[in-house]
Structure 1
Amino acid sequence: MKKILVLLAVFTAAFSQAQSTGSVVGKLTDKEYNNESLAFANVLIKGTTKGTTSDFDGLYSFEGLDPGSYTLIFSFVGYETQEINVQIVAGKVTEVNVPMGASAASLDEIVITTTTKKESETALLLEQKKAIAFKTAIGAQELSRKGVGDVAAAVTKVTGISKQEGSGGVFVRGLGDRYNITTLNGLPLPSNNPSKKNIDLDIFSTDIVEFVGIDKTYNTKNYGDFAGANVNIASKNYTGKGFVNIGLESGVNTNAISESDFYLHDGPNYTGFYDKNYPEFPLNNYNFNTSWDRETTSAPINSSISLKGGDSYQLGDDTRINFFAVASFNNEYGFRDGVSRGSVNVSGVARRDYDLTRYNYDTNSTLMGNIGFKHKDHKIKYNGVFINSTSQQQAEYTGIVDIFDYAPEGGAILQRSTFDRTELYVHQLLGDHELSEQFEVNWGAAYNFAKNDTPNRRQTLVTPDDWDEPEGPKSFNLTLNDSDNHRFYQDLEEEEIAANLTTSFKFNKNEEDEFLGKITLGYSGRFKTVDFESTQFNFRIINSGGNAVDQPIITDVYDLDSYFNQSNFNAGLFNIRTFRGGLGANIDVLLPQTFEGEQNINAGFISLEYKFSDKFSGILGFRGEQITQNIAYNTSVNSGENELDQFEYLPSISLKYVLNEKQNLRFAASKTYTLPQFKERAPFQYDESPTLTTLGNPALYSSTNYNADIKWDLFPESDEIISIGSFLRMINNPINQITINSASNDVSWVNSGDWATAIGAEFEIRKNLLKSEIESGDKTLETKLTGGLNFSYLNTTQDLDRDKVIEETTAGGNAISVDFSDTESSLTGASDILVNADLSFYKDYKGDKSIQTTLAFNYFSDRIYALGSEGKGNIIDSGIGTLDFILKTKLNKNLGVGLSAKNLLNPTIERIQETQDVVVSSFKLGANVKLSLSYNF
C-alpha cells in the first residue's frame, strides 16, 4: 500500500500545489491635517461592487482577489478622488498608501509595495486583528529578522511558549508534548520518537516555511487531542517571477572549537546517511565490524548550504501553474562538559555519580517541492517533503557506577556512542473549489512515513581492577551486569494516512453585500500504524562461576577493540547474549523486543459563524471523534495487548467584540482530551542514558481537558499590537512522568491524580520606537527601530494520589508502586514565568542596500522534569535566559551577508533533585557564531 501511494503522489505531482489569491491593504492619510490618519473614506474596486471604508487608523483591506490589474478608487467628501492602478499577484499582499487632500496626490506621494502575503508581519497582524478566533502567526519576514533557523526556535518567539532543552519539543503555557498537535498545511505529521506524540520541530528548516501558525485555543477543524497549541507549518508557495537563490553559512560552537581534539565514533559519515544492522550470526562468533573506540574527526566547523528557486506561468486567461523547490544541508558540532548523576536517595546521595564529557555532531538534509495548478476558481496543489535528520553523540562518563556496590570509590569509565537518524517522507494533495459566491469545498489528503533508527549504539564500562584504588589499573574483572557492555539496535516506523473534507455555505447577505453567516460541515480521518523493535547484544564478561577466566588489565580504555575481538571470544573472556538468552536456549533469542500499534480517528464536525452586529460576532462548533488505540507488545518486562476505545464529544465557542476600530475583546471555551502515547503504554524498559531508565504503563488512559481564554487586543498602528490575556486549563486524570519506587529509580507515566489546573496571564507589546521615510528618486528609504516584549505568568497545581495509581495499575496487571513526595504539585514542564524580548533596527540605503540588526532575549523559570517519590523531591530543570544577536545586510539587490551569534550568555543548564538540592545534570552549550552569504539570480 505504501509503495502504491508513493507512486500515486509522484504521478499527481504534475497537477499540484495551488495558487493563492492576492490581497491589497493600505493606509489613507489626510494631507490637510499633517498627514494624520483619514478614517471613514470610501475605497472601491472600479468595475465591481466591492468596496470598503477606512477604519479609525485610516486602514483598509481587500482579501481574496484573483491575480491581475485593478483600479482602486479612493474618495472622501470635500477631497479630490484618486484612482490608482494596482497589480495583484497571487499569494502576495500589495500595500497601497495614499495621501488624500483638496488636490490630487502626486505619483511620488503614493507608495506601493508588494510582499508575500503570509510572510509579511503587517499582513499577518491584520489577519489577527480581523479574525474572530484567537490567532497567532509568525511569518518568514519576522523569522529572518530574528535569525531563526528552525521551527522549534520560531515558536518560542510567541507568548507563553518555551523550548525543551535537548530536543525540538516545546512547552505551551507550561503544557508539554502530549498536549500539543503538529500539522503541515493543516494535515497531521507523524512522530520521529517512540516516546513522543509530536515530531521534533527543529528538524524543519525555516527555508521551507512561509509562516508558522499557533492556535492556542481549540478549533473544531483540528483534532481534539489538544490543550496547549496546534502548531501548523505552512510551507512556502511561490507565485512570482522566476528566481534562484543560493545560500552559504559557516560558523563554530565556542565549546566545540576550543577542544584540541574532537572525537566521534566509527560508522556514521559526514552527511548523516548511515544505517547499520547487526551481523547475520551475531552470537556464534565475534562478527561485528565497527570499532568500539572513539575516533578523532576533522575540525568542528559548522556549515550550511541551500539552493532554492521557483517560477509561475500563465496558461491562457483562466489558468496558472507555479512551482517552488528547496534543497539544503546543514551540520552542527557541539560539546558538553559537566556532571550526570542518578538514583538520588532521600538523604540526597546520588548512587550514580559521573563527570560527563560529550561530543555532538548533528545534520539535517531537506528537500521540498511543490507544484500548484489553478483554473478559474478551482485549485489543486501538491506538496512533497523529505527530511533526513541525524544526531551523533560520543559520551564519556567517569566516576561512580553505584556508590553502594559498584566502583563505589570512583574510577569507572563508561563510554556510550549513539547515532540517531530520522527519515521523514510527506506527500500532500490539497484542493480548494469555490463553486459559487456562497458555496465552497476544501479537501486534503496526506501520506506520511517516518522512520527512526538507532543503529549500533555501543556502550562499554571498565572499572578499577581494585575498587579501593580508583586511579589504579582498569579491567573488566569486576563487571557486574551483562548489559554494561552492549550493542543496541532500534527501529521505529510510523505510517499514516490522513484526510480532511470541509464544505462551507455563506448566508444572509446585508445591504453592504456582506454575508453575515457561514455554516461549515467537515470530516477528518487519521489512520496510523506504529511498528517498534529493538535488539540488544550484551557482551557478558566471564568473571565468575565455573567458567570464569582471568581477565586482562586494560592498558588503554580508548582501545577496546583489543579486548572485544574473535581471539578473546574464542578464549572465553566473554560471550554474547540477548535479553532472552544466549546460544543453546530453547527459544528464539534473536526475537527482538517489540510493540506494534494501530490508532484510528474518525471525526465529524459542524460550526456556525455569525456576525450578530457590527461589533459582535462568534463561532459555535461541535466535533465528535471515535478513537481506537490498540497496542500489542512483547518485551523483556512482559507481553500482551490492550485496547483503548472511546468516543469524545467536543464543543467549542469563540466570541469577538469590537470595542472600537483599534480594540478587540475575545473569549473562547472548549472541551478536549489528551491521549497517552504507544510507548507510554508498552511495558518496555528503555535506557535513555546511563543515569535514566524509562518503563511503560499499560494501564494508562486518556485525560479530559476543559479550556477557557479571554484576551484584549489593541492595534495602535497597522504593524503594532498591545494585548493582555488570561487562560484556564482544567485537566481530569492528568498524565505525568514520575519516578517510581525501584532500586534504580526508573521513570514511568501514570494518571497521577483526579484533577490538575493551569491558570495564567499573558502580555504582549510590539511597538515602533522610531520610524521615518525619505524619498530618493523613485524609491522610499525607510528607517525603523522596533521593540517587542511578551510575558507569560503561569500557576499550575495538581493533586497526587498514590492509592489511585496503585489501584489502577494493579487492575491492569502491571502494578506500579509510587509514593509521591507531596500530595500536590505543579504540572511537569510548567514554568511560572516566560519572557521573550527583541529590539530590531532596519535602515534602507541607496542602491538597494540595507542593514538589519536584532537583539533577542528568551527566559523561562524553573520547571518540573519528573515528579518525585519516597520523599526525594521532584527533579527540576532550572530556569535560564538566552541572548542572540543577528546582523543582516544587503550589499545590492542580489547579494546579502549576515552574522549571527546565538546563546551569548552561555548559561549553565542544570537539572536538580529537590532533596538536598542535588545537581543531577549540569553543562554549558557554548555560543554559536555563524557567517552567512546569499545570492539571488
Structure 2
Amino acid sequence: MQYFKFLLTATLFLSASIVFAQQGEIRGKIIEDSNGEPMIGANVVIKGTAIGAVTDFEGDFSINTAPGTYDIQVSFVTFQSITIEGVEVKSGEVNTLGTVRLQEEKSELKEVVVTAKAIRTTEAALMTIKKKAPGMIDGISSAKFRLIGDATAVEAVKRVTGVSIEGGKYVYVRGLGDRYTKTTLNNVEIPGLDPDRNSLQMDIFPTNLIDNMVVSKTFTAELPADFTGGLVNVETKDFPDEKILNVSLGISYNPNMHFNPDFLTYEGGKTDFLGFDDGTRELPQGAKGGSVPTPLSGHSQEDVSRFVRSFNPELGATTSTSLMDYSMGFSIGDQISLKKKNTENSSDKPKLGYIFSLSYKNETKFYDEVNYGEYQRYAEASRTDMRYATLQTGQLGEQNVLIGALGGLALKSRYSKVRLTAMRLQNGEKRAGQFLIDNDGAAVGQSGYLAQSDNLEYNQRSLTNILLNGTHNLRNTGWELDWRVSPTISTSEDPDIRKTAFSDIERENPRFNAGEGGNPSRIWRSLNEISLTGKFDVTKKYSFNDSEAKLRLGASHTYKERDYEILFYDIQFFSGQSWDNTDQSEVLNEENLFPNKPNGIYYQSGNNNPNPNAYNSNIQNTGVYISNEFNATKNLKAVLGLRVENYVQRHTGRDQEFASGNTNGRNLVNEKVLDSFDFFPTANLIYSLGDEQNLRFSYAKTIARPSFKELSFAQILDPISNRIFNGSLFPYADWDGNLTETRIDNLDLRWELFQKEGQIFSVSAFYKKFDNPIELVRIPEQQTSTEFQPRNVGDGELIGLEFELVKKLSFIAPALDNFNVNGNVTVVQSKIDMTDTEFSARKNYEKEGQNLQAVRQMAGQAPYVINAGLSYNNFDSGIDAGIFYNVKGPTLAVVGTGLYADVYDESFHSLNFSIIKRFGTDNRTSVDFKVTNILNEKRESVYKSFQAEDEIFTSFNPGTSFSLGVNYKF
C-alpha cells in the first residue's frame, strides 16, 4: 500500500512536470483596493480568448497557456476592469504578476491599462492592509524583499518603523526589551532557540520563503495578550507565487577575528560542526547518583581512581588559527495542479504547494579584549567615584553553528486550504576563554586575590516545530474558519562546562582556593520543554450601515512543560597542593590524581538529593475572544473586542535549605505559583481623513508574565563572568519571593499618510502604564558574590512619539527616481515610581550635591530608537544598494541598590552598507556585498553613578565585517 501511494504521487508529479514543460503559467493575486482583502471569484482571462481562471478564496489564480506574449484582463461585477499588457509566457516557466488591485466601478472611469512591470514592482497588498488594518501595524512584504535584496528576515525587518535588532537575531519594538516584545510564526506562538526569550531569532528565515512580516503595535482581541511593545508575525509561504530553486553561498571576513593564530579553542567532539555533541562531553557513568566515590565516602581506592579518570582531562584552552565565517543555503518550492493541466478553466482543480529550505551557518568570533567589571559605591557622601571589587580581562573565542530546515506542503481547493509545515533548528556553540581576575580585598565583602582562569563551554540547542493549519471559506455565507495545531519540542544542554582558576598566581606557590578563584569545577545543565498550542478563529462578514462589517470570535489553548536540572562537581585535594606552574592543561595529569601525592585530586558532587537546582514547571493558558469591526459612520471605523485568558502556572522545586534536610525550607510540589483570570478589552477607532489618510486611536489592556526560570528556585552561574541569576522564589530582607504579572494599560494615537509606490509619512504618540513591572535587580545582601534576581518594582509609565518617513527622491530631481530615503525615530520618556525599600537603599548612598527623587528610568526601555537609510533600487539594471544606520539610546539593564550602581547598556551606533547585483538570464544570478559595523563600535554595558565616571560592566568589540554572497536561481 505504501509503495502504491508513493508510485501514485510520483506519477502525478512527473505527469504535471511533463505537461507543464510544454506550456508556461501565469500566476497572480487579485485584491480589493479599498481594504486589501482577496477577491473571490474574479475573472482573469487572456484577452481575446476563452482561456482563463477564476480566483479562489485567497484571491489567487493561475493560467496555463502556450508560450507567447499576452494581455491579461481582470474583471469582477461592480468593479473597474483592468488590462495588464505585455505578459510574457515562456515554456516551462512561471510569470508572476504579483498583486493586482481592483477598484469599485465609477461611471466616469474606463478600463484601466497597465504594464506587467508596473504590477510586479508594487507593494500594493501590504500597504493597503496597513491602511485598512483594524490595529496599528507596520511590516514588509515579499514584494519588498525582491526590491531590496535582503537575504534573511533579520536584515529585512530592521527597516520597519520602531524596530531594533539585538545580537543580530532578536527583534525589539519601540525600544522595549524582550519581555514586552513577542514573535509568532504563522500566527502561532512557538519558543525560540533561547527558551527564556519571547522573541524567535530571525536570522534563520531566508526571505524567499517569507510571504510577509507584520509588526502589530496595538493589541486586538484575536492576538495573545502578553505583548506590549509589539508582536512580530512571520508568515511563511505555502503556495509560492513563482518557482523556487535557489542555491546560495556566503563568506564573511572580520579583520579583528579571522585568520588570527591566537584564537582560543579546545578539542571538542567530531560532530561539533553539525551543532551537537557526539558524547565527548557526556556526564560520566555513576556521576548522577546521590553519592559519588570519594576517599571519604567509604568507596574503595580503585573506585575513586576509576571515577576521577572517567572525566575528560582537558581543562585548558588551546590556540589555533581562526577561519572565516561561511554559510550555505538551498531552497525549493512551487505549486502544481493535481490533475492533468490543459488550457481550460482550472479554477476548481485542487493544487499542491510545496516548499523546502535548508541552511547552514558557521561563525567564528574572537574577542581579544573582553572586560567584566564589578564596582561599588563608597559609603562616604563626599566620594562620588566608584571602586572596583573585581576586574576580569581576557580573550574569548567562539564557534557557532546553526542548521535550519523548513518544509511545508499545502493542499488548496477553491474554497479551502490545509497545510503542514515543519521546522527544525539545531545550534551548537563552543567557547573557550582565558581571563585574569583581579579582586580588591579592600572592597566590601571581598577577600583580595589575583587569579588566572581558563573556561571551556559548549551549548547545544534544538527546536522542532510542526504546524497543521486549515482555512475554510463557507461559500456564499460570509463565514470563514481557520484552525491551527502546533506542537514544539525544544532542548538546551550545556554539557561539561569547565572552569579552572589558579589563585595566588603572583606568589611563588600558586594554588586553588575555594574562597578566591574557586576550585576547578564542572557543570552539566539540561533543559527540555514541550509546548502545544491549538486555536481556532471564526470570521463572519455582514453588512452594517451599508458597509461591510466583520464579527470575529475564537479560542486558544497553550500547554507548556519544562524540566530543568543543573549538576555540579568540583575538584578536591586529598594530599595538599603543590604546583610547578599555572598551566590548566596539566592539572589532570596522571601524577596529580588520587591516590598519587601531592594533590591527590578527586571529584566531589555538589548535588543534594533532592537537587535544589532542578525543577519541573508547567503552564495552562486558555483564551477566548470576540471582536466586531464595523463602520460607525461613513468615515469612522470601530473595532471593539474583548479577550479573556485563564493562566495557571505550576512549579515543582525546592530551595537549598530544604534540599539540605531542613524541613523549614520551602518545597513546592506541582504548586500554583501564578493563577489569574484576566479580561483584556480593546478598542481601535480609525477615522478616514481621505482616501490616503487615517487618524487612529487605540486603547488596550495587556500583560507581561514571568518566565519559567524567573518563577523558580534556580541559581544559574555564568562561569565566565562569574555572575549568578537567582529565581524570584528566594526571599530576602527586601523581597518576599512572590513575583507577579505585570498588567499594562496602552493608549495609542497615529496620523498616517499613504502615497504612491509605498511612500508613507506617519506620526504616532503612545502612552503605557505598568502595574508591578518586572525588572532584573542586583541583590544587595549578596556582597561576596555578584547575584541578580527578577523582582516586581514600583509602578511605571512611559510616553512616546514615533515618526516614520519613506520617500522617493524624485521630488528633488527626476534623475533621483531610483533613490529612496527612509527613516523612523522613536522617542520615549519612561519612569518608575520606586518602592520605599528601593528609595531608602538609594538614599543611604546619596552623595553631596545629589537630590534623589523617588523616580527613575524604566529598565529595558530605550529613551530613543533611530533607524535611517538611503537606498538605490533599479529594477532594470538589477542593482540595489543602501547604507543604513541604527542606534538605541542608553538603556537601564540592571537595577542597582545602595552599594551597587545601576547598569546601563550603552548606545551602539550600527552603520551598515549593502549592494546587490543581479545579472544573467532573467537575473537568475545575484551577488551581494555587505559591510557591517562600519564605525567599529564596541558593545558596552557600564555602571552609572552620580558625578562618577562610567565604569565597565561588560565590554567587547565585534569589529567590522565584510561579507560576500552568491545566489543562483535555477
Q: Does TM, normalized by the shorter one, top 0.5?
A: yes
Distance 2:811 2:76 in 1: 26
The answer as to 2:828 corresponding to 1:794 is yes
Residue 443 (structure 1) aligns with: 483
The answer as to 2:778 corresponding to 1:746 is no
Q: After the TM superposition, which of the residue ranges 240-249 and 664-673 deviates more from structure 2?
A: 240-249
Residue 271 (structure 1) aligns with: 274
Q: Could you say what secondary structure the match of 2:126 adopts? A: helix
Residue 856 (structure 1) aligns with: 884
Residue 494 (structure 1) aligns with: 529
Contact 2:407 2:422 in 1 (8 A): yes
Distance 1:448 1:636 in 2: 32
The answer as to 2:717 corresponding to 1:687 is yes
1:251-290 equivalences in 2 (<5 Å): 251-257=252-258, 259-268=260-269, 269-274=272-277, 276-282=281-287, 283-284=292-293, 285-286=307-308, 287-289=310-312
Per-residue deviation at 1:500? 1.0
1:675-714 equivalences in 2 (<5 Å): 675-688=705-718, 689-698=720-729, 699-714=738-753
The answer as to 2:929 corresponding to 1:930 is no
Q: After the TM superposition, which of the residue ranges 404-413 and 275-284 deviates more from structure 2?
A: 404-413
The answer as to 2:592 corresponding to 1:562 is no
Distance 1:682 1:234 in 2: 34
User: Equivalent of 1:608, from 605, 618, 628?
Assistant: 628
Distance 2:170 2:234 in 1: 14
Distance 1:243 1:214 in 2: 26
1:152-231 equivalences in 2 (<5 Å): 152=154, 154-165=156-167, 168-193=169-194, 195-204=196-205, 206=207, 208-231=209-232
Which letter does structure 2 place at the counterpart of 1:494?
A: E
Per-residue deviation at 1:578? 2.4
User: Equivalent of 1:621, from 641, 645, 656?
Assistant: 641
Q: After the TM superposition, which of the residue ranges 446-455 and 219-228 deviates more from structure 2?
A: 219-228
Per-residue deviation at 1:201? 4.0
Contact 1:392 1:418 in 2 (8 A): yes
Q: Could you say what secondary structure the match of 1:889 adopts? A: strand
Structure 1 residues 144 and 303: alpha-carbon distance in aligned structure 2, compared to 1, 3 A threshold: farther
The answer as to 2:395 corresponding to 1:364 is no
Per-residue deviation at 1:343? 3.5
Aligned-residue CA RMSD (Å): 4.0
1:108-127 equivalences in 2 (<5 Å): 110-112=115-117, 115=120, 121-127=123-129
The answer as to 2:68 corresponding to 1:65 is no
Q: Could you say what secondary structure the match of 2:312 adopts? A: coil
Per-residue deviation at 1:128? 0.8
Which letter does structure 2 place at the counterpart of 1:139?
A: S
Contact 1:705 1:730 in 2 (8 A): yes
Residue 137 (structure 1) aligns with: 139
For residues 768-822 of structure 1, what are the alpha-carbon distances to aligned partners after superposition, in whole Å with 9 as ceiling and x for unaligned?
1139999xxxxxx996111100001000001121549999xxxxxxxxx999986
Distance 1:502 1:81 in 2: 33
Structure 1 residues 728 and 477: alpha-carbon distance in aligned structure 2, compared to 1, 3 A threshold: closer
1:488-887 equivalences in 2 (<5 Å): 488-508=523-543, 515-540=547-572, 542=573, 548-554=575-581, 556-562=583-589, 566=593, 572-580=599-607, 591=611, 593-634=613-654, 636=656, 639-641=666-668, 642-643=671-672, 644-688=674-718, 689-698=720-729, 699-741=738-780, 742-743=782-783, 744-753=785-794, 755-770=795-810, 784-803=818-837, 823-845=854-876, 849-887=877-915
Contact 1:72 1:86 in 2 (8 A): no
Residue 297 (structure 2) aligns with: none
Q: Could you say what secondary structure the match of 2:809 adopts? A: strand
1:400-439 equivalences in 2 (<5 Å): 400-404=438-442, 411-437=450-476, 438-439=478-479
Residue 55 (structure 1) aligns with: none
The answer as to 2:931 corresponding to 1:901 is yes
Residue 52 (structure 1) aligns with: none
1:89-128 equivalences in 2 (<5 Å): 93-95=98-100, 110-112=115-117, 115=120, 121-128=123-130
Per-residue deviation at 1:92? 6.8
Structure 1 residues 637 and 488: alpha-carbon distance in aligned structure 2, compared to 1, 3 A threshold: farther
Structure 1 residues 724 and 829: alpha-carbon distance in aligned structure 2, compared to 1, 3 A threshold: same
Distance 2:605 2:228 in 1: 41
Contact 1:24 1:63 in 2 (8 A): no
Which letter does structure 1 place at the counterpart of 2:552?
A: T
Which letter does structure 1 place at the counterpart of 2:963?
A: K
Q: Unpaired segments of 5 or more residues in structure 1?
A: 1-11, 16-20, 28-38, 50-60, 582-586, 775-780, 808-816
Residue 35 (structure 1) aligns with: none
The answer as to 2:319 corresponding to 1:314 is no
Q: Could you say what secondary structure the match of 2:257 adopts? A: helix
Which letter does structure 2 place at the counterpart of 1:322?
A: G
Which letter does structure 1 place at the counterpart of 2:744?
A: N
For residues 287-328 of structure 1, what are the alpha-carbon distances to aligned partners after superposition, in whole Å with 9 as ceiling and x for unaligned?
112622223445421101111111211134421111010001
Per-residue deviation at 1:337? 3.0
Q: Could you say what secondary structure the match of 1:890 adopts? A: strand
Contact 1:806 1:818 in 2 (8 A): yes
Per-residue deviation at 1:197? 4.1
The answer as to 2:924 corresponding to 1:890 is no
Structure 1 residues 618 and 62: alpha-carbon distance in aligned structure 2, compared to 1, 3 A threshold: farther
Q: Could you say what secondary structure the match of 2:159 adopts? A: coil
Q: After the TM superposition, which of the residue ranges 300-309 and 177-186 deviates more from structure 2?
A: 177-186
Per-residue deviation at 1:609? 0.6
Per-residue deviation at 1:133? 1.6
Q: Unpaired segments of 5 or more residues in structure 2?
A: 1-8, 13-26, 45-54, 64-71, 294-306, 340-345, 379-385, 659-665, 730-737, 847-851
Per-residue deviation at 1:434? 0.6
Structure 1 residues 771 and 383: alpha-carbon distance in aligned structure 2, compared to 1, 3 A threshold: farther
Per-residue deviation at 1:891? 1.8
User: Equivalent of 1:336, from 327, 350, 367?
Assistant: 367
Residue 940 (structure 2) aligns with: 910
Distance 2:725 2:902 in 1: 16
Contact 1:842 1:853 in 2 (8 A): yes
Per-residue deviation at 1:91? 9.7
Per-residue deviation at 1:536? 1.3
Q: Could you say what secondary structure the match of 2:606 adopts? A: coil
Contact 2:73 2:81 in 1 (8 A): no
Which letter does structure 2 place at the counterpart of 1:330?
A: K
Per-residue deviation at 1:95? 4.5
Structure 1 residues 373 and 818: alpha-carbon distance in aligned structure 2, compared to 1, 3 A threshold: farther
Which letter does structure 2 place at the counterpart of 1:23?
A: K
Structure 1 residues 225 and 509: alpha-carbon distance in aligned structure 2, compared to 1, 3 A threshold: closer
Contact 2:367 2:396 in 1 (8 A): yes
Contact 2:372 2:721 in 1 (8 A): no
For residues 812-862 of structure 1, what are the alpha-carbon distances to aligned partners after superposition, in whole Å with 9 as ceiling and x for unaligned?
xxxxx99998632111121111100111112244xxx51111111101111
Contact 2:711 2:727 in 1 (8 A): yes
User: Equivalent of 2:437, from 374, 385, 399?
Assistant: 399
Contact 1:254 1:928 in 2 (8 A): yes
Residue 57 (structure 1) aligns with: none
Contact 1:488 1:536 in 2 (8 A): yes
Q: Could you say what secondary structure the match of 1:554 adopts? A: coil
Q: Could you say what secondary structure the match of 1:553 adopts? A: coil
Distance 1:103 1:163 in 2: 46
Structure 1 residues 460 and 45: alpha-carbon distance in aligned structure 2, compared to 1, 3 A threshold: closer
Counting aligned pairs with the same residue, the percent is: 22
TM-score by length of 2: 0.80
Contact 1:336 1:357 in 2 (8 A): yes
Per-residue deviation at 1:503? 1.2
